Amino acid sequence: MHYALRGAAEPRLLSRVFASLSRCGVTPRSARASLTADGRELVIDVRLAGIDHDVAARILRCLPRLQGVDSVEMSKRTVPATQLLDQFLEDQIARVEREIAGRLSAYEFLVSTGRMRRDRAVREYGRMKTLQKALGDLRAGAPS
């Protein structure tokens, strides 16, 4: 079994994860931890061998409850942490792009109803378009 965890980059997170595995009576076959580029999150890959489905399910219930753990994914096949990180980043970029699209479509309405001055809307529209382009570049892997 393979578990991929994401959580706050705090010193005790690894020890809490290993203590939880120990309470379940398992020893990892391998484990790897790395910080995200911004240093705010810790990505932990844990591989376990020779465990039955009941133990695997119990581990999957216990790990998300640990302080500092934001998400846990389990698979029977091995998935590298970088692939999980790439998917997470893609999801976050898509979320921000949806929010930007919503704001861009709202500017005309806000100006026409007098809720926003036109000059402010033009400035914010320009900022949103710049941000939208930067996210597109980030998604494409090009420098912004």
DSSP 37-73: TTSSEEEEEEE--S--HHHHHHHHHHGGGSTTEEEEE
Quote the distance between the C-alpha of residue 73 and its chain's center: 11
The pTM of this model reads 0.52
The residue to which tokens 């998400």 are assigned: 71
31 and 54 co-located in one domain = yes
| Distance (Å, whole) CA 60 – CA 124 | 44
Q: Are 110 and 92 in contact (CB under 8 A)?
A: no
65 and 96 co-located in one domain = no
Q: What is the pLDDT of residue 19?
A: 94
Q: What is the pLDDT of residue 95?
A: 82
Per-residue pLDDT tens listing for the chain (144 residues): 888 999 999 989 999 999 999 998 999 989 999 988 888 899 999 998 888 888 888 898 899 999 999 999 888 765 566 666 777 777 788 888 888 888 888 888 888 898 888 889 889 889 988 988 888 888 777 554
| Distance (Å, whole) CA 56 – CA 64 | 13
Can you name the residues that pair with 75 across neighbouring β-strands?
Answer: 2
**Residue 50 maps to which CATH number?**
3.30.70.260
50's tokens: 């020779």
97 and 113 co-located in one domain = yes
Please state the domain count of the chain: 2
55 and 93 co-located in one domain = no
